[in-house]
Chains A and B, each alone.
Chain A
């Protein structure tokens, strides 16, 4: 079975991959309101991710979700670096797993809230 890692793109990320081959793989979803890149992985890599991060899970769309922000950030950086959406980008991220876990541990205490007005 194939599993999917989604990487959402804001303006910063869109700029970073502008002109690269992966730009052609950007998908617009939810009526064009959200832009996303999808990386497909097999059973083995999926299991490695679930093993590495206690919070990670598979949702009803076969997407691997609830991975730490540090992992997602590293995944995007690797995509931008390798200009690829192949499984090798995930493997490259998993090679730095200890470093990512350390960052993730800090993230489980605090995440900066977006600067929007609340009541």
Chain B
């Protein structure tokens, strides 16, 4: 029988990247040695190139790199690595990676810092030492070109791209808003940030996650990507997708929320995490089988490209499977609704995948579980899977927007749409922020406060 069992996949690239100095004495030594010779840079949010509102904070990328979520990436990419990612979606080592990961600063800051290749830069967050960047290369980018090449276009990627990316696309805006000078090199965290509640309960970096899987006896685990509070459709997606596995359904469902700057109209991060937790607290899925975690990342909404990153993160966390639905990590009509599934089932040659992601060299080991849709069927009188239920004329589709509409008008969604325990969580954070969804005030507040505080190193 054991030959039929799936093995937990190795981390992407072979080993988990862990670039965190946990011993404070050692961290202090590094700082001391740097006092005379290292420049210091205070991390600031990336602001929208037109509107000036925060759209990203590079600290989230540093955390995700150093704790191994983005393994095998170890830092800010060199120009050769950037070119390789943009043309082939591969790192120079050959491992698949979809997005540029860059430490960008303005020309003014570059002049002020006076750093050159071979220097070490101390990065401060909220006024305290946070990380080091060992500068291997300094180069200049054109942010608009970076944004265009990151996502492609209907001409260069005709298989799945339907519309030209522009300033209505939040991911394009993030890259367009990058500063022009790139400091490339490895990051090392020297002062571990402390997560604030409720984030502290859900912070499970890859090594820890793999240990928990081991303790829980989860041979197989399926990842659920989220940036939303769960409605009953999500719950059914999780439950049904988890029926895959090896000789039995997946032992675990790993919810991994993407936490970072969100679009107006999304739910606050705090509500997203606690609402998913409410699903197992209220017993809709057994807590022994359901775990809620998060990754720090300002979402790029790159549908198939984002699915690659999601696959990498969750493989690094130890998952054997990843569920993908319609419009995965998408916004607007830029991509084909099933672009992600096309990538994982057939490949997208123009993005560098002439075969499915699992079959290319340097590809992923995590298995896709491509799901179609769930809807409420008034004939079946249940939440039905689109490929089972033949009452497509009578179907009643759930959508996040439908629920947002109800919530905004103060109408409690029916239990068949949203569990009352989940709605309570939404209202709890609504009371705290005075608003049920992300608005500009929340974004400003969140980007000042962040998810973490930094301890004193002294």
| A 97-113 binary contact with B (CB < 8 Å = 1; else 0) | 00000000000111111
Q: State whether B414 touches A113 (Cβ < 8 A).
A: no
- Asked if A29 is at the interface of the complex by the 8 Å CB criterion, the answer is yes
A30-B417, A111-B436 are contacts. A59–B402 as well, Cβ < 8 Å?
Answer: yes
Question: Residues of B contacting A57 with CB < 8 Å?
Answer: 332, 401
Q: State whether B412 touches A114 (Cβ < 8 A).
A: yes
Q: State whether A111 touches B326 (Cβ < 8 A).
A: no
Question: Residues of A contacting B45 with CB < 8 Å?
Answer: none
User: B430 to chain A: closest CB distance in Å?
Assistant: 4
- Asked if B399 is at the interface of the complex by the 8 Å CB criterion, the answer is yes
Q: State whether B417 touches A109 (Cβ < 8 A).
A: no
Q: State whether A8 touches B416 (Cβ < 8 A).
A: no
A108 and B439 alpha carbons, distance in the complex (Å): 7
- The listed residue (A8, A55, A108, A118) touching B409 by CB distance below 8 A is A8
Q: State whether B424 touches A118 (Cβ < 8 A).
A: yes
- Chain B, range 152-176, C-beta contacts under 8 Å to A: none
Q: State whether B405 touches A31 (Cβ < 8 A).
A: no
A55 and B431 alpha carbons, distance in the complex (Å): 22
Q: State whether A118 touches B439 (Cβ < 8 A).
A: no
Q: State whether A109 touches B435 (Cβ < 8 A).
A: yes
Q: State whether A60 touches B327 (Cβ < 8 A).
A: yes
A108-B440, A118-B431 are contacts. A33–B415 as well, Cβ < 8 Å?
Answer: yes
User: A33 to chain B: closest CB distance in Å?
Assistant: 3
- The listed residue (B265, B381, B411, B427) touching A8 by CB distance below 8 A is B411
- The listed residue (B376, B405, B439) touching A6 by CB distance below 8 A is B405
Question: Residues of A contacting B264 with CB < 8 Å?
Answer: 54-55, 108
User: B118 to chain A: closest CB distance in Å?
Assistant: 46
A66-B265, A119-B424 are contacts. A30–B376 as well, Cβ < 8 Å?
Answer: yes
- Asked if B428 is at the interface of the complex by the 8 Å CB criterion, the answer is yes
Number of B interface residues, CB 8 Å? 42
A30-B417, A113-B427, A116-B424 are contacts. A61–B397 as well, Cβ < 8 Å?
Answer: yes
A30 and B402 alpha carbons, distance in the complex (Å): 12
A108 and B264 alpha carbons, distance in the complex (Å): 9
- Chain B, range 402-458, C-beta contacts under 8 Å to A: 402, 404-406, 408-417, 423-425, 427-428, 430-431, 434-436, 439-441
Question: Residues of B contacting A110 with CB < 8 Å?
Answer: 434-435
User: B69 to chain A: closest CB distance in Å?
Assistant: 30
A10 and B425 alpha carbons, distance in the complex (Å): 22
Most buried by B among A10, A113, A119: A113
Question: Residues of A contacting B410 with CB < 8 Å?
Answer: 111-114
A31-B381, A118-B428 are contacts. A10–B411 as well, Cβ < 8 Å?
Answer: yes
- Asked if B396 is at the interface of the complex by the 8 Å CB criterion, the answer is yes
Q: State whether B401 touches A63 (Cβ < 8 A).
A: yes
Q: State whether A8 touches B404 (Cβ < 8 A).
A: no
Question: Residues of B contacting A109 with CB < 8 Å?
Answer: 434-435, 439, 441
Q: What are 19 sample pairs from A and B whose C-beta atoms fall under 8 A apart?
A: A10-B411, A29-B376, A29-B378, A30-B414, A30-B416, A30-B417, A31-B378, A31-B414, A34-B406, A55-B264, A60-B337, A65-B405, A69-B409, A108-B435, A109-B435, A109-B441, A113-B434, A117-B424, A119-B428
Binding site for B on A (CB under 8 A): 6, 8, 10, 29-31, 33-34, 54-55, 57, 59-61, 63, 65-66, 69, 72, 108-114, 116-119
Binding site for A on B (CB under 8 A): 264-265, 326-327, 332, 337, 373, 376, 378, 381, 396-397, 399-402, 404-406, 408-417, 423-425, 427-428, 430-431, 434-436, 439-441
